[in-house]
Amino acid sequence: MAESYPQLRASENFASLQQDLAGIETEIQMARRYYNGAARAQNNRVQTFPANLLSGAFGFSVLPYFELDDPADRNAPRVSFDDGAGS
C-alpha cells in the first residue's frame, strides 16, 4: 500500500490539472461570448436611428466580432508532460 501511494497522489494531481484546464477553457469561451455580445450591442447602437446620428460625431464605430481566421486554431492545445528522466 505504501508503494502505490505516490502513483495515487500523481493521479489525483493529474485529475486536478485536467479539471483546471477544462475550467480555463470554459472561462475563455464565456469571455468570447461576452465580448461578441457586447460588440453586437455596440454595433446595433451605432447603426440604428437616432444614435447613428451622434455616434459618428463622437467617434463611436462598429466593433469587429472575435473570430478565428484559421480553423486549426479551434483545436485544443496539446499538453505534454516530461517524464522526469531528462530526455
3-15 pLDDT tens trace: 555 566 667 888 8
- Domain extent, residue 53, equals 12-63
- Asked if residue 69 is part of any domain, the answer here is no
As for how many domains the chain has, the answer is 1
Q: Is residue 68 part of a domain?
A: no
Residue 30 counted as domain residue: yes
Neighbours of 63 (CB within 10 A): 15
pLDDT in tens, 39-67: 999 999 998 988 888 888 888 899 999 88
Residue 85 lies in a domain: no
Put simply, whether the predicted model's pTM sits higher than 0.75 gets the answer no
Which residues have CB under 8 Å from 65's CB, separation 6+?
Answer: 36, 39, 40
The answer to the question of residue 1 being in a domain is no
Largest CA distance in the chain: 75
Q: Which three cell numbers stand for residue 80?
A: 505534454
Identify whether 19 is part of a domain. Answer: yes
In a domain? residue 5: no
Alpha carbon of 35 to those of 6, 29, 40, 76: distances in Å? 43, 10, 9, 21
Q: Identify whether 7 is part of a domain.
A: no
